[in-house]
Amino acid sequence: MKRAAQPGPDKSGAGRFRLRSFRLRITLMSTATALAAILILFVAASTTIVARRAQILDHILSAHLSGPGFGVATPALWPAIDAHLNASFSAFAPQGSQGGYAILRASRADGSLVYRSTSWPAALDTAALPRGPGLHTVADGALEWRLGQVRHGDMTVWVGVNRSLSNAQLRVTLWRFGAAAGVLGALIALLAWYLSARAMRPVEHLTGVMLGLNASDLDQRVAADEEDVEFAQLVTVFNAMLDRLQRSFLQAIRFSGDAAHELKTPLTILQGQLEHAFTHAAKPEQEEALIEMLEEVRRLDSIVRKLLMLSRADAGQLQVPLSPFDLRPVLDELAEDIELLDPGRAVRLDLPPLLMVKGDTDLLRQVLQNLVSNAVKYGLPGGWIALSARQHGGQWQIDVSNASSGIAAEHRERLFDRFYRADHAHNRRIPGVGLGLSLAREIARAHGGELLLVEAAQECTCFRLCLPAGL
Ligand SMILES: Nc1ncnc2c1ncn2[C@@H]1O[C@H](COP(=O)(O)OP(=O)(O)OP(=O)(O)O)[C@@H](O)[C@H]1O
Ligand SMILES: [Mg+2]
């Protein structure tokens, strides 16, 4: 699983945490910015709303106090005035509140009570009431009242409004606003995640092209004019890099192909002349020297031919006519060759009577010949060699195995590299140049198949040639 975050390089000595996902960083940064903006807006809006609301309450309360009604009220009118007061403040309480929005009290200078609301709190007796002009805030337990007074003759009238109810309504509003901000934040995060994915698309496209690149398909390019201007330069640089890579790759292929081609003719001439000299050699010492020279020339010739074929494969020119034929006789011939060359070897065959594949007989013989000659060269002396084949999902799996002392893990991946030979090949001075397996793999791939090392344990080495079934 990919890790999204890991501690960044610690230059200061203190362990710092760094998010490694660019997309996650963009999402978090844009969401944090949006949430900070919402928070500032929320604080500014709520402070203004709270202050403005207090002003409005005070304004209505002052308007009631300065009205003409109290001075001319008859005893029968006071309950109506009380109800009217409550109604005027009911809009400032949370929905479903049951009265108690405002309170009213009127008393004469001699202390006689003219009127008192039923909800008038006992704690606010006349002694506890603030006397000065203007409006006052008085706390009564959990409740908070805003109170003002007005005089009409010897009568003092007190009007109060329940600020706790107004504050509760304000809190409900602000909670809703906060919840809406949370939902908005989540939506912004989703949007930022989506937009960052869209922003990454050109990079993903470029990565896809890079992943699809291989040596035989270097002529892919990304159309710069289809990308956004911000990425067009990156695409142009990438295309230019591909141009240079392709040029130098083609140069290298052409060079090895041309060199091999140029060497082929002189080698053939040299081989012919050496054979001619051998047939006319006067002394046995001359014959021996000529045989050694002929062997070296043949070795060189085989290297040149392999290099020529590999350069054709690199240039994508190793195209084989895929005509169906039976591979079984080729495998039988190779088994006979082993028995002739090394009679001490036990050869085990597990082959179907008909092994139909599509391709070129000579090229596939070359692949199998290299596998078999490797099994003879690198297998345990006096050990067994096995050739087996089975069909699996429309493919033939042809295994060439031998008794072995194993191939060290560090060599296994590199056996298919050109000119690579494991230590034992060098140490035991076994003839070969290390081109056989790389060429065999190219030929297998040109047939739509594959060549794999499937077993390299202590007792057995097994190479598998996979080929599409011919019928
Ligand atoms: N059956 C095997 N058992 C153990 N090692 C093997 C076996 N087949 C191949 N190898 C190792 O893989 C290396 C590469 O094999 P490859 O056939 O490419 O080259 P080569 O046999 O050395 O030379 P040539 O080009 O003549 O085939 C060999 O040098 C050897 O170290
Ligand atoms: Mg070989």
Distances (CA, A) of 103 to 171, 181, 389: 23, 37, 102
* Other beta carbons within 10 Å of 219: 10
Mean pLDDT score, 324-347? 92
Residues 355-385: pLDDT tens digits?
A: 999 999 999 999 999 999 999 999 998 899 9
More confident residue, 438 or 23: 438
Residue 306 CA, closest ligand 1 atom number? 25
pLDDT category of residue 231 using cuts at 50, 70 and 90:
confident
Same domain, 280 and 370: no
Same domain, 302 and 335: no
Same domain, 23 and 74: yes
Domain-located, residue 216: no
Does the pLDDT value for residue 9 go beyond 60?
no
Domain that holds residue 331: 323-468
Closest-lying ligand to the alpha carbon of 441? 1
Residues 159, 116: Cα–Cα separation, whole Å:
10
CATH of the domain at 333: 3.30.565.10
How do strand 346-350 and strand 384-392 relate by DSSP bridges?
parallel
Residues 397, 322: Cα–Cα separation, whole Å:
18
Distances (CA, A) of 228 to 22, 237, 433: 19, 14, 51
The answer to whether 89 and 60 have CB atoms below 8 angstroms apart is yes
pLDDT of residue 130: 81
Closest-lying ligand to the alpha carbon of 457? 1
Same domain, 49 and 110: yes
Mean pLDDT score, 108-120? 91
Does the pLDDT value for residue 176 go beyond 80?
yes
Does the pLDDT value for residue 39 go beyond 70?
yes
Same domain, 463 and 409: yes
The answer to whether 307 and 435 have CB atoms below 8 angstroms apart is yes
CA of 415 to the centre of ligand 1 (A): 7
Residues 423-463: pLDDT tens digits?
A: 766 666 788 999 999 999 999 999 999 999 999 988 999 99
Does the pLDDT value for residue 206 go beyond 60?
yes
CA of 458 to the centre of ligand 1 (A): 17
CA of 358 to the centre of ligand 2 (A): 24
Closest CA to 302 of 439, 400, 159: 439
pLDDT of residue 361: 94
Same domain, 71 and 162: yes
CA nearest ligand 1 atom 17, residue: 436
Q: Extract the tokens encoding 239.
A: 């295309």
Minimum mean pLDDT among 17-31, 93-107, 160-174, 417-431: which range? Answer: 417-431
Does the pLDDT value for residue 127 go beyond 80?
no
Residues 83, 90: Cα–Cα separation, whole Å:
10
- The tokens 């990079």 sit on which residue? 203
Same domain, 29 and 177: yes
Mean pLDDT score, 104-125? 89
The C-alpha angle 438, 442, 443, rounded to 5 degrees, equals: 115
Same domain, 391 and 327: yes
Domain-located, residue 171: yes
pLDDT of residue 281: 87
CA of 428 to the centre of ligand 2 (A): 14
Residues 236-295: pLDDT tens digits?
A: 898 999 899 989 988 888 888 888 889 999 999 999 999 999 999 888 889 999 999 999
H helix intervals, 315-396: 328-341, 361-378
Contacts of 92 (CB under 8 A, 6+ apart): 53, 57, 101, 161, 165, 166, 169
Same domain, 292 and 340: no
Domain final position from 314, 332, 347 = 314
CA of 105 to the centre of ligand 1 (A): 111
Does the pLDDT value for residue 201 go beyond 90?
no
One-letter amino acid for residue 3 of the chain: R
Same domain, 165 and 235: no
Contacts of 220 (CB under 8 A, 6+ apart): 209, 212, 213, 242
Domain-located, residue 197: yes
Enumerate the β-bridge partners of residue 456. 461
The answer to whether 352 and 465 have CB atoms below 8 angstroms apart is no
Mean pLDDT of the chain: 89
Sign of the CA dihedral 186, 192, 198, 200? negative
Cβ burial of 321 (10 Å; 0-12, 13-18, 19+) is exposed
pLDDT of residue 53: 92
Residue 434 CA, closest ligand 1 atom number? 19
Cβ burial of 436 (10 Å; 0-12, 13-18, 19+) is buried
Residue 437 CA, closest ligand 1 atom number? 18
Same domain, 341 and 197: no
CA nearest ligand 1 atom 19, residue: 434
pLDDT of residue 1: 40
Closest-lying ligand to the alpha carbon of 460? 1
DSSP symbol at 128: G
Mean pLDDT score, 10-28? 72
Closest-lying ligand to the alpha carbon of 418? 1
Domain final position from 203, 220, 255 = 203
Domain count, the chain: 3
DSSP symbol at 165: H
CA of 423 to the centre of ligand 2 (A): 14
CA of 421 to the centre of ligand 1 (A): 6
Residue 463 CA, closest ligand 1 atom number? 1
Does the pLDDT value for residue 391 go beyond 70?
yes
Closest CA to 278 of 269, 264, 288, 268: 288
Mean pLDDT score, 305-318? 86
Residue 400 CA, closest ligand 1 atom number? 1
Which of 378, 427, 461 for a ligand 1 pocket mutation test, highest count of atoms within 8 Å of Cβ?
378
DSSP symbol at 217: B
Same domain, 145 and 196: yes
pLDDT of residue 3: 45
- Judged by phi (left if over 0) then psi (alpha if -120 to 50, else beta), residue 193 lies in alpha
Domain-located, residue 6: no
For 390, half-sphere exposure in the C-beta direction (CA atoms, 13 angstrom radius) is 2
Ligand 1 site residues (CB inside 6 A) read 370, 374-375, 378-379, 402, 404, 407, 415, 421-422, 425, 432-437, 461
Does the pLDDT value for residue 16 go beyond 80?
no
CATH of the domain at 274: 1.10.287.130
One-letter amino acid for residue 81 of the chain: I
